[in-house]
Structure formats: C-alpha cells, structure tokens
Amino acid sequence: MKDTIQRLTRDSKFTHSIRSNGFIAQIDKLSHQMEDYNDDAAQAAAIDVVLSSPVYDRVDKIEESKEGKEDEFDYTDHLVQQLLKWFKEEFFTWVNTPSCDSCGNKENGTITPLGGCRGYTQDHIDGRASMVERYRCNSCGTVNEFPRYGNAMTLLKFRKGRCGEWANCFTLILKSLGLKVRYVWNLEDHVWCEYYSKNLKRFIHLDPCENAFDNPLLYNHGWGKKMSYVFAISDHYI
C-alpha cells in the first residue's frame, strides 16, 4: 500500500509538472514524436513516394561509377545523401509566406499576415494542423490559408512548410526504409534528424532544409546560432 501511495504521489507531481511547466510539457510531447513514423500505412505511403522518385537510379549510377575505387560511404550512405538532395531540390517546398491561390501573387510585401486559428476542417483535423495561418493578398483581397500540418503522412501529399514539416516528413521517409533514425529538436526553434550509419558506426546529422549531411556544427559555425538544449528522440529513449 505504501509503495502504491508513493507511486501515485510521484505520478501526481509529474502530471502537475507537465501541466504547469511549458518546457517539461514540450519534452513530454516530444517523447511521442516517433509514433507517427512507425505507423504501417504511413510507412507504406512513404515507400511508394521513394520508389516513384529517381533516387534509387541515381544511387545505382554512383555505385557503378566507383569501379572498385575506395569510398568512405557505402550504399546506404549514398542513398541517404541522394534522398536529401532530391527532397530539397525536387520534392518539398519551403514556404514563409504562401502565394495567393486566386491571383498567383507571390510578392511578400503585398501579402499581409492576419494571424492564425485552430484547424477546423476535417482535413485539418486528420492532418493534425497545429495552426492554420491566414494571409490577405493586397492585390486581389483574397484571404488565403496555410495549415501547419503535424501528421507526417499528410505531408507526403502537402509537400510544403518550414523546418518542422521538412524534418517531420523526411524522418518518416528514412524510417520507412528500415533505418535507425532519431528526430532532433532544438529549444532555439529548429529541428532536424539523424540516422545511424552502420558503415561509419555513428549517428549522422541530417538537415533536409539545407541538404546537409554530417554537418552538426552548421548552426553554431554556419548560422552563428547560440544553442542551449538539443534533444534526440528515438523509438525508445530521448
């Protein structure tokens, strides 16, 4: 009975911490991040996307061109490198301010942000849109919406967003190929991912937004960014 009371007390304190501390609440949310990527339907959809891409053909050509030459990378490393390049250059689109659906206006200075609202359509709900951003086109007056989808499978079709959507969708693709993957979250508002290279015997930093492979100091040295907390989330641990 004493053990039960102690456990309930600990659980109660933890629940209170999650509700009252935004940082702890964020970490608790991150602990469930990998669940999407292990969904069978999501992985099947991701595999279909990869198989319909030119990535495997490009990797095969790289392997053929080696002709016995020494190469620090193996087939899987080359596959991930080509996935990064294809994902950034051909598959996904970065969106700061969406263009107008009515008149096609793309000039940021003539599109006014109006704030956002919670997802309200069934598509928003199914795609777990954390927010639907709204913008007014000053050229034609149309109010356009940009949902910030959190469901990785939805992003395979939507194919646009900012770093959160990019890392989310790309992590699903990696996971669907049977790779050991970690989703990486930084308190200073950026996310990326890693995969374990059996050839290199370590986790490799990947940033699909930057087509960056094994460049973990990109943010400090390249962006001049000061960083505090960085968490890597796997299937079983953070």
Catalytic residue among 28, 71, 163, 214: 163
**CA pair distance 190, 220, nearest whole angstrom:** 12
Per-residue pLDDT of the chain in tens (238 residues, 90 and over written 9): 446 545 655 677 777 777 788 888 888 889 899 999 999 999 999 999 999 999 999 999 999 998 777 889 999 999 999 999 999 999 999 999 999 999 999 887 899 999 999 889 999 999 999 899 999 999 999 999 999 999 999 999 999 999 999 999 999 999 999 999 999 999 998 999 999 999 999 999 999 999 999 999 999 999 999 999 999 999 999 9
**CA pair distance 171, 126, nearest whole angstrom:** 19
**CA pair distance 152, 35, nearest whole angstrom:** 10
Catalytic residue among 78, 100, 207, 209: 207
> Residue 6: what pLDDT?
56
Residues 147-157: pLDDT tens digits?
999 999 999 99
> Residue 81: what pLDDT?
98
Q: Which of 86, 101, 95, 167 is nearest to 137 (CA)?
A: 101
Q: Are residues 145 and 201 both part of a single domain?
A: no
Domain count, the chain: 2
Which CATH number is 205's domain given? 3.10.620.30
Q: Are residues 71 and 162 both part of a single domain?
A: yes
Position 22 in a domain:
no
Angle subtended at Cα 74 by Cα 73 and Cα 79, rounded to the nearest 5 degrees:
95
Catalytic residue among 77, 100, 169, 190: 190
Q: Is 163 a catalytic residue?
A: yes
> Residue 68: what pLDDT?
73
Q: Judging by DSSP bridges, how do beta strands 190-197 and 181-186 pair with one another? A: antiparallel
pTM of the model: 0.90
> Residue 121: what pLDDT?
93
Q: Is 32 a catalytic residue?
A: no
Position 17 in a domain:
no
Q: Are residues 86 and 181 both part of a single domain?
A: yes
> Residue 155: what pLDDT?
98
Q: Are 155 and 165 in contact (CB under 8 A)?
A: yes
Position 11 in a domain:
no
> Residue 9: what pLDDT?
57
Q: Are residues 166 and 222 both part of a single domain?
A: yes
**CA pair distance 63, 70, nearest whole angstrom:** 11
Q: Are 160 and 149 in contact (CB under 8 A)?
A: no
Residues 1-47: pLDDT tens digits?
446 545 655 677 777 777 788 888 888 889 899 999 999 999 999 99
Q: Which of 114, 181, 109, 173 is nearest to 143 (CA)?
A: 114
Q: Which of 22, 113, 72 is nearest to 197 (CA)?
A: 72
Position 20 in a domain:
no
**CA pair distance 180, 203, nearest whole angstrom:** 9
9 three-class SS: helix
Task: Tell me 223's DSSP state.
Answer: S
**CA pair distance 134, 149, nearest whole angstrom:** 14
**CA pair distance 210, 135, nearest whole angstrom:** 26
161 three-class SS: strand
- What spatial distance separates the first Cα and last Cα of the chain, rounded to whole Å? 32
Matching residue, tokens 């109660």: 12
Please give the structure tokens belonging to residue 218.
């990109």
Host domain of residue 117: 108-156
Q: Is 16 a catalytic residue?
A: no
Buried b (16+ CB within 10 A) or exposed e, 16-36: eeeeeeeeeeebeebeebbeb
Which CATH number is 131's domain given? 2.20.25.10
